[in-house]
Each structure stands twice: as structure tokens, then as C-alpha cells.
Structure 1
Amino acid sequence: MTIAYQANDPATPGAPLDITPLPDPKPPRVGFKVTKLPPEKVYPLGTVEHVAWAAREAALRAVKAFEECAGPLPGWQGKPALKTLNLIPDAGDQLNAYYDRASLSFFHKDVNGKPLLSGASADIVAHEAGHAILDALRPDLWNVATMEASAFHEGFGDCIAVLTALADKGLREAVIKADPKLAKANHVEAFGEALSVGIAAIYGASHNAAKPRHALNDFRWAFPATLPDDGKPGVLINEMHSLGQLLSGCYYRILLGVFARTAGGEAGLWQATKVATWLLAQATIKAPVKPRFFQSVGRTMLIVDQAAYKGANSPAIRAAYRHHNIDIGSSTFLAPSVALGPVASGFAAAGTKPVGAAGAKTVGAMLDAGEGAKVGYRRVEFGARAVAVASVPRAVDLAGLDPRLAGAVAVSPQEAFVGEDSNGNAAMLGAVDAGAAISAEVRDFVATLLRRDDIAFDKPKRGGAGAVAGPDVKTHAVKAARGKAAQLERISFACGCRGRHPA
């Protein structure tokens, strides 16, 4: 049996092909449960039945491509027992698509007299699957209330869309034929062309998302709070999807830098894609959460590359981040900064806590751990070298931002590397971010959510905002727990690029 499938966005060159769909993954691999999946056959384009199979195929291809590059996912949300995620091909009438931990959900909208179904776009489906993939790798990022952590999530989704397109041999051959060095814009590095047409038609050509996002871009990093809240297409703004293009830009330029060292052709392009994806995945898994999270991942990637490839890809990594004005040149990222006494017995072999009681107390003091706060440790390895990421959740008071947030907090961790110095003693490695800096980043981010009317102060709706959500759809909610301060929490990733919500 066959289905109709287009390996990119419906607005890009090439008609859908009749293909044999991928089978459901066998345990222990992760997969999807598609709502109301019809019998397998070729359905007319623009029907929900067609979209059900097309969205299923794109989601499975995204996971398959990622796992071919970076290894099996541990389970959705990082939970080994959670192997199935719901996929809803058509959840209603909106210009929308989102990931909310329970599902990948897609929608339909009439645009210029024709139905635009977000689930028909392999770009959009792969992007949403990218959120789920990142949530499987780093579930702790889900609720980090800073702009760069949120933008990283969105940029990672775009990276997975690029990866999924380049995993298709036919698309690789087509872009190589058009431009052997991939130096020009193309339909693989562009994201969601059909959706952008719909956004322009409904919300106007001046909307920031009225043109596709691009991985091949020249955006330059700046402090998010210094960027405008709104801007025409092609303008970098203080919004997570717009800022996410900094990550997809770095990924794509690393890919091109690695590609330049291959023999070329579609095989060389796939080889480069696999290397760039593996580097991104490893750096993402191991990087400590910092206010400057793009920089943290870039610096971690250099360490990963040195351990795995003896630094062969480091020139491409440095050039890519430099192009986007992200400084990853510090050589002190793993340099000892604070002595912590003897290394805990067994850490080098298998343990996760690298310090004894006295050292742990110093780590807690350096990370501003308050009374009763517990320092958590997770082990990461760079080749033969093992270090730990020490982490303390930092609850930031949101008083003064909005009367409805009085008494509420938002959380971002304070993290740093801990490991051995050259003499075999335990030490904190690299700089430790000031607590005040983290608090400022959190409050700036929450202020952007308020300006966009993205916080549910009443009972939150399931899911969240999507590609262009209506004003009633939110991305965050304030949740109260008995005996604890109310906390601002994410309820979905809003996969669109909204401007400032009108007052």
C-alpha cells in the first residue's frame, strides 16, 4: 500500500509522491499514536485523511533521521517508559500547530478560499517533532523561564526541519544540483513557506512571520531585551521564534563548513548533516543552563568536538557562531575556578556527585542555594573526561510586573560545571553566573509574555498558541500548589512568531 507524501513544504517545488510509509517503530524505540488514522491509501490532497498519513510520515522521518545521526531517544520527556506520543492531524479551525507534551497537534484554516492544513507540511511537522525530541533529551529545559532557553527550543525545531529535509536523498540531490555549495537560499533551509503565505493573507504582509524563517541568515546576536518587540519580516525581534534563527543559523553554517571538507555531492551533504546534528545533540545534552544559553551550547560543542574529532570541526563551529555574533572563544569554560577539596570516591568511574560534604556546601554557596535548597548533579562525559553539571532551581519573584503575578514566581536553574583540576582535586569549572543576572533574565522574559498576552490567569486551555494564535490561546499559566508560591509554568510551545499583542 502507498500514501501521498511531499518531503518538504507544500509551497516548495515538487509534487507529492506515492510512497510506502514507514512502519511503526518497534519497542524500545519511540513513536506516535495518530488520532483517527484512516486505512492506508492515497487520499486527495487537502483532506484530513491525507494529512493524517502525511503528518505521521513526517514525524516518523524526523525521529528516524535524528536517531540515525545521534542515537536512540531515551523516551518522550526523557522517561524510558514513555514511548508513544499522540499526533492529532486536525485539531480544529486555526492557523496553528503546537507541542504540549501530550501531543503534536495540527490545524486547518481557510486561506484565500483554500484549506491550509499545517499537518500537510513536513517542515511544520518536523519542527513540532523537534520540540518533542529536545524535550526527550533535555526535559529540564521545558520550564526554564528565560528568552534564550525558549528561543533555543524553537531554533532546535527548525534544525530538525532542516535535518528531516536533508535526510531525503531526492531533496539533497535537488539542492546540490541547483547550488553545489549551498551558498544561496533554498527551500531546504527555509521554514514553513505555505504557512507564511497564510500569515500574510490573514494578518498582513508586515507581520514578522509573513515570510519564511531561514537557517541561512545573517542575524547578529544582541541582548534579547534590547531588541524590538515587533518588526517586519526579516527583522530580528525579541521573540523566541525569531531569536531561534540564531541557533538554526549556527547549525546550518556548521553543516556547510563540514560539507566543504567532504568530497561533495549528496552523499557528502548527508555526511556533513550527520556530523553537524551529532555535534548539536551532544552539546545540547551536556551544556549547563545559562542566561546566555546559545553561548553555553556553542562552547560545549567545541569541547565535544575536541573529544570526539580532535577539533577537526572546531573552525567551522567557531566561524558559524562568530557569524552570528555569539562569542564562544573563551578557553576558561572548563578551567578550575573554585577549590572544592577531594573528589568524591567513585565519581571518575560511575558516580554523579563529584564532591564530599564540605565541597557540596561550597557549591551550594556559589550557586546561591537558599535554606533547604538541594543541589542536583548530572554526569556528562567528554571522551575520557567526566564532569558534573551542578544545578539549583532559582525561583524568581515576579512582583511588580503585573498585579496578577503578585506572590508568583518563575523558575530558572543556576548551573555550573564541577569536576577535577589538574591535580586530581574537585573544583568548580568556569565562571558561575550571578543570581541577580538570572533573575533579571527571567523578569525580562516574563515581561515579554505579558506584552504578548501569553499568560493564562484563568483556567489554562490545553495546548497553547500556535503558528499564529488567537488572543485567547496562551503559552504559559500561573499554577498554585498548596503551601507553595504560585508558579508560572509553560503549558505548550507556541510554534509561531507573534508580534506584540495589541492593548
Structure 2
Amino acid sequence: MPATVTVWEKDPALAARITVVPAPDITKTPLAFRLIPSLGNNPPQAVEFRYWNAAATLRRAADFWAASSQAPVTWRGGQVIDVFLDRSEGLNSEYDGTTLSFYHGSTVAHPTLVIYSGESPDLLCHELGHAILDAIRSDLFDAEGLEVEAFGEAFGDMSAILCAMQLPTFCSFVLAETSGRSFWSSSSLSRVAQQFGSALRLVKPADADEDCLRNAWNNHFYVDPSTVSKVGLADTIWNNAHSFSRIYTGAFFEALSAMLPVKAGGNAPGPETLRQVSDDMRDILVDATRSAQLVPGFAAEIAAAMIEESDKYHHAYPDVFQGVFIRRNILPQAIS
């Protein structure tokens, strides 16, 4: 095994954003995993890169969630989860309750350009986020209802965003990218799965935002799920968990952006500040997920739980979350 490996920081679309990290131990517990297929002798260079990129990304993500306030100690199915790096053809990635699976595919417009979903750290961390959520609250995985399903997708997107914030080099890049403007803006951090989104948009235009798969920097507001249409356009909210999830993700990312100056305490934030804020948001999400009741109006239930749990980490956080959730109509009024 090599001592170090070269990996994407966040997504292959950010072609210049690669970094070198220690070779990961995928068998380490808690939250170990098994990559399938394993790396054989003398693999093609691209296959070897995708293997180590996935291994290092998933290890970083698993370690991040394993350090949370009320961390899961095993996956839903046990100590080790199987990860299929290239299960078959298709523009897809998924968690099925037992395994993580990634695929490869192309489009009619660009048949020679093959997209490997398991090459994107965003998608790797998104699907691992599903497995983490399932390990925390297995009842949510099988629960029906648009609000619950959408929360699962938002949890996955936040996993992609928060796990990227564990890399100091990427944090420095994002701070430079957003210098002179609000951190609450469209950036390489807010844009989830840019490469995959560009391919999916050619096949299913309504399923991807204009600049990525889903952009956490958005202005989507909560609406009653019973009132939304069965189909819609990319810039609207419709009756689909991925579409509806953008309401949650936008609120979470807006709150995360407002948490940053609170954590910085009047100083210019640095990479370490971003990491600290990501830890706080992770713990607030985990605590709220564990305490929220599975009831009708789950969006408001999660919002109220996040407000309550956030006070553990900074007394200014509840006002941040409450303001965002009320503005986005997730909560109808202030919680006393």
C-alpha cells in the first residue's frame, strides 16, 4: 500500500483541486467499509486513482461522522459496509440500506465521455451520508412522506459539503473564492456534484440545477407537500425528494454561513474556523435527528430540534437557525 495517495478535493469538475493525503485504512472501526472490486495487481492508472480517491474520501467522511456528538458505532448492517465502486452502467449512485453503489454512464450528446459517479467526493460523501443517517435513525429510512425523504437527501448533500470542509487546502480555496463577498453565496462549496450534474442535465433537465446537481445556495421556501405538482422544472420545487430537499439544504447552508462570523468572533475566518463550524453543524444535525419525532410536519419538527440543540454549541446559534427557518417558512413563528 502506498504511503500517500492523490485525490480530488470535492469534485472532478474542479480540475485543479487535487490534494495528496495519507493512504487510508478502510478496515478501521468504527464505520469500516469494503471496496468492491478490491484493487488487483497492475490495475489501469485510472482504476487505481478511482479506487484510492474513493477509499480516502470515504475514510475522511466516516471519520468525520464518527467524531460527532452522538456518533453511530456501526452501520445498519454491522461493522463493515460494502461499497461497489462501479456496479453497472447508468448515471446513478445509491444507498439501498445495506450497500453503497456507484455507476458509470455517458450521454447521447457525449457518448465517449464516461462519468463515474464513484469518482466524485461529493457523491461519495452524499451516499455515505445516507448510510450515516440510517445508522442514526433507521426508522427514517423506511418512513414514507415527502418531508422525511427530502430530509434524507438534504442530509446527504450536507454530508458532501461538511466533509469537504475537513480539507484545509479546500477551505483556503473557498475562503479566497468568496473573499469580498458574503460566504452565503454560490461557490465551489455550495455547488454539489458539478460534473455529474452537467451530465444528468443533458438527460433529465429538471433533475439538476443549472450549474451543478444541486446548489445549496438557493432561495427555495417551504411549501405544503400536498400542494406541489408531480413534475416541475429544475428551478422549482416539485413532488420529488431530491427537488424538495433543496428547501432544507438551502436553509442549512444559509445557517452554516451565518454561523461562520459567530464562530470567528469578529476575526477573519481561516480554514480552522471553517472546520470548527462544520463540526458544530454536524453535531447539531445529529443531535436534532436523534431527538426529532417522526410526525406529520417533519420539516418543522427538525427545525425546532435544531434550534434547541444548537444552544449547546453557541448561545448565538438558536437565533441564527430560528431566523433562517422562519424566513423560509419552515417554521411559522418564533419558538419561545
State the TM-score, normalizing by the size of structure 2. 0.89
Q: Is the 1:122–1:161 contact (alpha carbons within 8 Å) kept by the matching residues of 2?
A: yes
Q: Deviations over 1:303-336 (max 9, x none)?
A: 2234x2474211111122123221164548xxxx
Paired residue for 1:408? none
Paired residue for 2:88? 92
Paired residue for 2:113? 114
- Structure 1 residues 73, 218: CA separation in 2 closer, same or farther (over 3 Å shift)? same
Q: Counterpart of 2:114 in 1: which secondary structure?
A: strand
Which piece of structure 1 moves more, 141-150 or 5-14?
5-14
**Separation in structure 1 between the aligned mates of residue 79 and residue 239 of structure 2, nearest angstrom:** 35
1:50 Cα deviation (Å)?
A: 2.7
Please provide the CA RMSD for this pair: 2.1
Count of residue pairs brought into register by the alignment: 323
**Separation in structure 1 between the aligned mates of residue 299 and residue 41 of structure 2, nearest angstrom:** 42
Alignment-mate amino acid for residue 235 of structure 2 = G
Q: Counterpart of 1:105 in 2: which secondary structure?
A: strand
- The structure that is strand-richer by fraction is 1
**Separation in structure 2 between the aligned mates of residue 110 and residue 143 of structure 1, nearest angstrom:** 31
Alignment-mate amino acid for residue 125 of structure 2 = A
Paired residue for 1:196? 197
1:10 Cα deviation (Å)?
A: 0.7
Paired residue for 1:322? 326
The 5 A counterparts of 1:92-241 are 92-111=88-107, 112=110, 113-180=112-179, 181-203=182-204, 206-209=205-208, 211=210, 212=212, 213-241=214-242
> Gapped runs of 5+ residues in structure 2?
none
Q: Counterpart of 1:233 in 2: which secondary structure?
A: coil
Q: Is the 2:284–2:309 contact (alpha carbons within 8 Å) kept by the matching residues of 1?
A: yes
Identity among equivalent pairs (%): 23
Q: Is the 1:162–1:188 contact (alpha carbons within 8 Å) kept by the matching residues of 2?
A: yes
**Separation in structure 1 between the aligned mates of residue 17 and residue 318 of structure 2, nearest angstrom:** 39
**Separation in structure 2 between the aligned mates of residue 179 and residue 288 of structure 1, nearest angstrom:** 37
Alignment-mate amino acid for residue 103 of structure 1 = T
Q: Is the 1:3–1:40 contact (alpha carbons within 8 Å) kept by the matching residues of 2?
A: no
State the TM-score, normalizing by the size of structure 1. 0.61
- Structure 1 residues 42, 315: CA separation in 2 closer, same or farther (over 3 Å shift)? farther
Q: Deviations over 1:416-465 (max 9, x none)?
A: xxxxxxxxxxxxxxxxxxxxxxxxxxxxxxxxxxxxxxxxxxxxxxxxxx
Alignment-mate amino acid for residue 239 of structure 2 = N
Paired residue for 1:269? 274
- The structure that is helix-richer by fraction is 2
Alignment-mate amino acid for residue 201 of structure 2 = A
Q: Is the 1:166–1:270 contact (alpha carbons within 8 Å) kept by the matching residues of 2?
A: yes
Paired residue for 1:287? 292
Which piece of structure 1 moves more, 322-331 or 179-188?
322-331
Q: Deviations over 1:280-310 (max 9, x none)?
A: 110011100122111101111222234x247
Alignment-mate amino acid for residue 107 of structure 1 = Y
Alignment-mate amino acid for residue 291 of structure 2 = K
**Separation in structure 2 between the aligned mates of residue 257 and residue 25 of structure 1, nearest angstrom:** 37
Q: Is the 1:229–1:238 contact (alpha carbons within 8 Å) kept by the matching residues of 2?
A: yes
Matched, 1:60 2:51: no
Which structure has the greater CA radius of gyration?
A: 1
Paired residue for 1:5? 7
Q: Counterpart of 1:98 in 2: which secondary structure?
A: strand
1:250 Cα deviation (Å)?
A: 2.0
Alignment-mate amino acid for residue 291 of structure 1 = P
1:200 Cα deviation (Å)?
A: 2.4
1:18 Cα deviation (Å)?
A: 4.1
The 5 A counterparts of 1:252-263 are 252-261=253-262, 262=264, 263=267
**Separation in structure 2 between the aligned mates of residue 15 and residue 257 of structure 1, nearest angstrom:** 26
Which piece of structure 1 moves more, 2-11 or 117-126?
2-11
1:175 Cα deviation (Å)?
A: 0.7
- Structure 1 residues 209, 173: CA separation in 2 closer, same or farther (over 3 Å shift)? same
- Structure 1 residues 95, 309: CA separation in 2 closer, same or farther (over 3 Å shift)? closer
**Separation in structure 2 between the aligned mates of residue 323 and residue 54 of structure 1, nearest angstrom:** 39
